[in-house]
Amino acid sequence: MEIKLDYFSLKDIAESGQCFRFKKIDDNSYSVVIRGKNYILSQKENVLNINCSESEWEDFLSSYFDCDTDYSEIEKLVMNSGDEHAIEAYKLGSGIRILRQDLWEIIVSFLISQNNNIPRIKGSIEALCRVSGRKAWGGEEYSFPKASDISPLLFEKANLGLGYRVPYLKEIYEWVEENPFWLDYLKEMPYEEARKELLKRKGIGPKVADCICLFGLHHVEAFPIDTHVKQLIKKYYPKGFDFKYYGKYAGIIQQYLFYYEIKESTS
DNA sequence: AGTCAGGCTATTA
DNA sequence: TAATAGCCTGAC
Protein backbone atom coordinates (compact mmCIF):
# COMPACT_ATOMS: atom_id res chain seq x y z
CA MET A 1 0.00 0.00 0.00
CA GLU A 2 0.94 3.64 -0.30
CA ILE A 3 1.30 6.02 2.60
CA LYS A 4 1.87 9.74 2.44
CA LEU A 5 4.43 10.81 5.00
CA ASP A 6 6.18 14.07 5.78
CA TYR A 7 9.48 14.38 7.60
CA PHE A 8 10.30 10.95 6.26
CA SER A 9 13.13 9.67 4.10
CA LEU A 10 13.59 5.96 3.68
CA LYS A 11 17.17 6.50 2.57
CA ASP A 12 18.06 8.67 5.55
CA ILE A 13 16.49 6.19 7.94
CA ALA A 14 18.18 3.19 6.34
CA GLU A 15 21.58 4.83 6.32
CA SER A 16 21.51 6.60 9.66
CA GLY A 17 23.04 3.61 11.44
CA GLN A 18 20.23 2.99 13.93
CA CYS A 19 19.18 -0.24 12.19
CA PHE A 20 21.66 -2.69 10.71
CA ARG A 21 19.15 -4.70 8.71
CA PHE A 22 18.18 -2.48 5.83
CA LYS A 23 19.37 -3.85 2.52
CA LYS A 24 19.56 -1.53 -0.40
CA ILE A 25 17.82 -2.74 -3.55
CA ASP A 26 18.24 0.41 -5.61
CA ASP A 27 18.42 4.13 -5.07
CA ASN A 28 15.05 4.47 -3.42
CA SER A 29 14.08 0.99 -2.33
CA TYR A 30 15.15 -1.21 0.52
CA SER A 31 14.41 -4.61 1.98
CA VAL A 32 14.06 -5.05 5.73
CA VAL A 33 12.77 -7.66 8.18
CA ILE A 34 10.35 -6.44 10.84
CA ARG A 35 8.68 -8.86 13.26
CA GLY A 36 9.64 -11.82 11.13
CA LYS A 37 8.27 -10.47 7.89
CA ASN A 38 10.34 -9.37 4.96
CA TYR A 39 9.12 -5.99 3.70
CA ILE A 40 10.04 -4.26 0.49
CA LEU A 41 9.88 -0.49 0.72
CA SER A 42 10.32 2.27 -1.78
CA GLN A 43 9.75 5.97 -1.69
CA LYS A 44 8.91 8.58 -4.28
CA GLU A 45 8.78 12.11 -2.94
CA ASN A 46 6.61 11.92 0.15
CA VAL A 47 4.89 8.66 -0.69
CA LEU A 48 6.09 5.43 0.85
CA ASN A 49 5.22 2.20 -0.88
CA ILE A 50 5.27 -0.94 1.22
CA ASN A 51 4.03 -4.48 0.72
CA CYS A 52 1.66 -4.62 3.67
CA SER A 53 -2.04 -4.55 4.35
CA GLU A 54 -3.85 -1.58 5.82
CA SER A 55 -4.28 -3.35 9.14
CA GLU A 56 -0.59 -4.28 9.29
CA TRP A 57 0.26 -0.65 8.84
CA GLU A 58 -2.25 0.49 11.44
CA ASP A 59 -1.41 -2.26 13.92
CA PHE A 60 2.34 -1.84 14.13
CA LEU A 61 4.18 -0.51 11.11
CA SER A 62 3.00 3.07 11.63
CA SER A 63 4.29 2.82 15.18
CA TYR A 64 7.54 1.20 13.98
CA PHE A 65 8.14 4.21 11.76
CA ASP A 66 7.33 6.49 14.68
CA CYS A 67 4.29 8.11 13.13
CA ASP A 68 2.97 9.14 16.51
CA THR A 69 5.83 11.56 17.08
CA ASP A 70 5.31 15.07 15.75
CA TYR A 71 8.50 15.74 13.82
CA SER A 72 7.42 19.26 12.90
CA GLU A 73 8.05 20.07 16.55
CA ILE A 74 11.61 18.82 16.24
CA GLU A 75 12.05 21.00 13.18
CA LYS A 76 10.93 24.07 15.12
CA LEU A 77 13.18 23.17 18.01
CA VAL A 78 16.23 22.96 15.75
CA MET A 79 15.38 25.97 13.62
CA ASN A 80 14.89 28.18 16.67
CA SER A 81 17.99 26.92 18.42
CA GLY A 82 20.49 29.33 16.93
CA ASP A 83 22.74 26.28 16.72
CA GLU A 84 24.26 26.73 13.25
CA HIS A 85 25.72 23.29 12.97
CA ALA A 86 22.59 21.52 14.16
CA ILE A 87 20.59 23.46 11.55
CA GLU A 88 23.06 22.41 8.87
CA ALA A 89 22.88 18.78 9.96
CA TYR A 90 19.11 18.92 10.18
CA LYS A 91 18.84 20.06 6.57
CA LEU A 92 20.68 16.93 5.49
CA GLY A 93 18.95 14.45 7.76
CA SER A 94 15.46 15.87 8.31
CA GLY A 95 13.96 12.65 6.97
CA ILE A 96 15.38 10.58 9.80
CA ARG A 97 13.01 9.05 12.30
CA ILE A 98 13.83 7.09 15.41
CA LEU A 99 12.39 3.69 14.63
CA ARG A 100 10.64 1.67 17.30
CA GLN A 101 12.66 -1.49 16.87
CA ASP A 102 12.54 -4.71 18.82
CA LEU A 103 14.34 -4.39 22.15
CA TRP A 104 16.05 -7.78 22.06
CA GLU A 105 17.34 -7.23 18.54
CA ILE A 106 18.70 -3.83 19.57
CA ILE A 107 20.48 -5.18 22.65
CA VAL A 108 22.28 -7.86 20.66
CA SER A 109 23.01 -5.58 17.71
CA PHE A 110 24.58 -2.83 19.79
CA LEU A 111 26.58 -5.29 21.87
CA ILE A 112 28.08 -6.40 18.56
CA SER A 113 28.55 -2.80 17.43
CA GLN A 114 31.14 -1.86 20.04
CA ASN A 115 34.58 -0.94 18.71
CA ASN A 116 33.43 -2.18 15.33
CA ASN A 117 32.58 -0.78 11.91
CA ILE A 118 29.20 -0.73 10.24
CA PRO A 119 29.87 -3.12 7.32
CA ARG A 120 31.30 -5.65 9.71
CA ILE A 121 28.44 -5.23 12.19
CA LYS A 122 25.95 -5.81 9.39
CA GLY A 123 27.83 -8.91 8.29
CA SER A 124 27.83 -10.42 11.78
CA ILE A 125 24.13 -9.75 12.29
CA GLU A 126 23.26 -11.12 8.88
CA ALA A 127 25.27 -14.26 9.62
CA LEU A 128 23.60 -14.64 13.01
CA CYS A 129 20.14 -14.45 11.44
CA ARG A 130 21.08 -16.86 8.70
CA VAL A 131 22.67 -19.43 10.96
CA SER A 132 19.76 -19.47 13.39
CA GLY A 133 17.73 -20.44 10.39
CA ARG A 134 14.30 -18.84 10.47
CA LYS A 135 13.36 -17.48 7.16
CA ALA A 136 11.33 -14.32 7.26
CA TRP A 137 7.84 -14.43 5.93
CA GLY A 138 7.31 -13.35 2.34
CA GLY A 139 10.92 -12.90 1.27
CA GLU A 140 14.44 -14.20 1.04
CA GLU A 141 15.81 -12.67 4.24
CA TYR A 142 16.11 -14.33 7.63
CA SER A 143 14.47 -13.07 10.78
CA PHE A 144 16.33 -12.04 13.89
CA PRO A 145 16.54 -14.95 16.38
CA LYS A 146 14.80 -14.79 19.74
CA ALA A 147 16.93 -15.89 22.68
CA SER A 148 15.00 -19.15 22.74
CA ASP A 149 15.77 -19.79 19.07
CA ILE A 150 19.46 -20.05 19.59
CA SER A 151 22.08 -22.03 21.48
CA PRO A 152 24.78 -19.99 23.19
CA LEU A 153 27.29 -22.39 21.65
CA LEU A 154 26.37 -20.99 18.28
CA PHE A 155 28.41 -17.89 18.97
CA GLU A 156 31.60 -19.90 19.14
CA LYS A 157 30.86 -22.49 16.51
CA ALA A 158 29.55 -20.38 13.72
CA ASN A 159 31.94 -18.01 12.08
CA LEU A 160 30.18 -14.79 12.92
CA GLY A 161 33.24 -12.56 13.23
CA LEU A 162 32.26 -11.49 16.73
CA GLY A 163 35.73 -11.63 18.23
CA TYR A 164 36.00 -10.78 21.90
CA ARG A 165 32.26 -9.96 22.09
CA VAL A 166 31.32 -13.67 22.17
CA PRO A 167 31.31 -13.96 25.98
CA TYR A 168 29.16 -10.81 26.26
CA LEU A 169 26.60 -12.30 23.90
CA LYS A 170 26.57 -15.66 25.65
CA GLU A 171 26.03 -13.89 28.94
CA ILE A 172 23.11 -11.81 27.71
CA TYR A 173 21.46 -14.83 26.07
CA GLU A 174 21.70 -16.79 29.29
CA TRP A 175 20.49 -13.84 31.34
CA VAL A 176 17.41 -13.33 29.19
CA GLU A 177 16.67 -17.04 29.15
CA GLU A 178 16.83 -17.19 32.95
CA ASN A 179 14.95 -13.92 33.42
CA PRO A 180 12.14 -14.04 30.91
CA PHE A 181 10.47 -10.86 32.15
CA TRP A 182 13.59 -8.72 32.19
CA LEU A 183 12.89 -7.20 28.78
CA ASP A 184 9.35 -6.33 29.86
CA TYR A 185 10.58 -4.71 33.07
CA LEU A 186 13.03 -2.62 31.09
CA LYS A 187 10.21 -1.32 28.93
CA GLU A 188 8.37 -0.07 32.01
CA MET A 189 11.34 1.84 33.40
CA PRO A 190 12.07 5.53 32.88
CA TYR A 191 15.27 6.40 31.01
CA GLU A 192 17.71 6.77 33.91
CA GLU A 193 16.53 3.61 35.58
CA ALA A 194 16.66 1.53 32.39
CA ARG A 195 20.14 2.84 31.66
CA LYS A 196 21.37 1.87 35.11
CA GLU A 197 19.81 -1.59 34.76
CA LEU A 198 21.45 -2.13 31.36
CA LEU A 199 24.87 -1.11 32.69
CA LYS A 200 24.80 -4.09 35.05
CA ARG A 201 25.22 -6.50 32.15
CA LYS A 202 28.66 -7.50 30.88
CA GLY A 203 29.71 -5.72 27.74
CA ILE A 204 27.16 -2.93 28.09
CA GLY A 205 28.85 0.36 28.87
CA PRO A 206 27.54 3.95 28.74
CA LYS A 207 27.51 4.23 24.96
CA VAL A 208 25.81 0.90 24.25
CA ALA A 209 23.32 1.49 27.10
CA ASP A 210 22.35 4.84 25.60
CA CYS A 211 21.93 3.30 22.14
CA ILE A 212 19.66 0.63 23.60
CA CYS A 213 17.66 3.30 25.45
CA LEU A 214 17.33 5.43 22.33
CA PHE A 215 16.71 2.79 19.67
CA GLY A 216 15.24 -0.07 21.69
CA LEU A 217 13.19 1.78 24.32
CA HIS A 218 12.55 5.01 22.44
CA HIS A 219 13.89 7.19 25.21
CA VAL A 220 14.64 10.04 22.85
CA GLU A 221 16.38 12.02 25.58
CA ALA A 222 19.28 9.52 25.53
CA PHE A 223 22.34 10.94 23.79
CA PRO A 224 24.87 8.22 22.91
CA ILE A 225 28.42 9.49 22.64
CA ASP A 226 30.61 7.43 20.34
CA THR A 227 33.88 8.29 18.65
CA HIS A 228 32.12 10.18 15.85
CA VAL A 229 30.01 12.24 18.22
CA LYS A 230 33.05 12.89 20.38
CA GLN A 231 34.89 14.16 17.32
CA LEU A 232 32.06 16.31 16.05
CA ILE A 233 31.57 17.92 19.43
CA LYS A 234 35.26 18.79 19.49
CA LYS A 235 35.04 20.15 15.95
CA TYR A 236 31.81 22.12 16.04
CA TYR A 237 31.21 22.70 19.74
CA PRO A 238 34.61 23.54 21.24
CA LYS A 239 32.88 25.14 24.21
CA GLY A 240 30.78 22.03 24.76
CA PHE A 241 27.45 20.81 23.48
CA ASP A 242 24.33 22.25 25.08
CA PHE A 243 22.37 19.10 25.95
CA LYS A 244 19.90 21.00 28.07
CA TYR A 245 18.52 23.04 25.21
CA TYR A 246 17.34 19.94 23.35
CA GLY A 247 16.19 18.30 26.56
CA LYS A 248 13.91 15.37 25.97
CA TYR A 249 14.73 15.34 22.24
CA ALA A 250 18.52 15.27 22.52
CA GLY A 251 18.71 11.78 21.06
CA ILE A 252 16.95 12.79 17.86
CA ILE A 253 19.34 15.70 17.45
CA GLN A 254 22.20 13.27 18.02
CA GLN A 255 20.99 11.32 14.99
CA TYR A 256 21.07 14.38 12.74
CA LEU A 257 24.56 15.25 13.93
CA PHE A 258 25.78 11.68 13.62
CA TYR A 259 24.30 11.25 10.16
CA TYR A 260 25.88 14.48 8.94
CA GLU A 261 29.22 13.32 10.27
CA ILE A 262 29.23 9.88 8.61
CA LYS A 263 27.89 11.31 5.37
CA GLU A 264 30.64 13.90 5.35
CA SER A 265 33.36 11.34 5.97
CA THR A 266 32.18 9.09 3.14
CA SER A 267 31.74 11.77 0.51
C1' DA B 1 50.86 -2.06 6.18
C1' DG B 2 48.71 0.43 9.46
C1' DT B 3 44.90 2.58 11.47
C1' DC B 4 40.51 2.58 13.11
C1' DA B 5 35.95 1.06 13.98
C1' DG B 6 28.89 3.96 16.77
C1' DG B 7 33.72 0.68 23.61
C1' DC B 8 34.26 -2.15 27.59
C1' DT B 9 36.90 -4.54 31.19
C1' DA B 10 40.59 -4.94 34.12
C1' DT B 11 44.55 -3.09 35.97
C1' DT B 12 47.14 0.35 37.64
C1' DA B 13 48.42 4.67 40.48
C1' DT C 1 38.58 8.20 41.32
C1' DA C 2 41.00 8.70 37.07
C1' DA C 3 43.78 7.19 33.41
C1' DT C 4 44.98 3.73 30.02
C1' DA C 5 46.51 -0.86 27.94
C1' DG C 6 44.51 -4.59 25.59
C1' DC C 7 41.18 -6.73 22.98
C1' DC C 8 38.90 -9.79 17.88
C1' DT C 9 39.20 -8.72 13.25
C1' DG C 10 37.70 -6.68 8.89
C1' DA C 11 37.31 -2.42 6.15
C1' DC C 12 39.67 1.28 4.27
pLDDT digits (tens, 9 = 90+) for A45-93: 999 999 999 999 999 999 999 999 999 999 999 999 999 999 999 999 9
DSSP state of A60: I
Q: What is the 3-state secondary structure (H, E, C) of A21-35?
A: CCEEEECCEEEEEEC
Question: So what's the pLDDT on residue A265?
Answer: 80
Q: CB atoms < 10 A from the CB of A243, how many?
A: 12
Whole-number average pLDDT of chain A: 94
E strands, chain A, in order: 2-4, 23-26, 29-34, 37-44, 47-50
pTM of the entire predicted model: 0.96
Q: What is the pLDDT of residues A12-51, one digit of tens each?
A: 999 999 999 999 999 889 999 999 999 999 999 999 999 9
Q: Which residues touch strand B (CB under 7 A)?
A: A 16-18, 113-118, 120-121, 164, 201-209, 211, 214, 224, 226-228, 254-255, 258, 262
Task: Considering all nucleic acid strands, name the nucleotide whose C1' atom is nearest to the C-alpha of residue A162.
Answer: C8
Average pLDDT of the segment spanning A142-169? 87
**CB A100 under 7 Å to nucleic chain C:** no
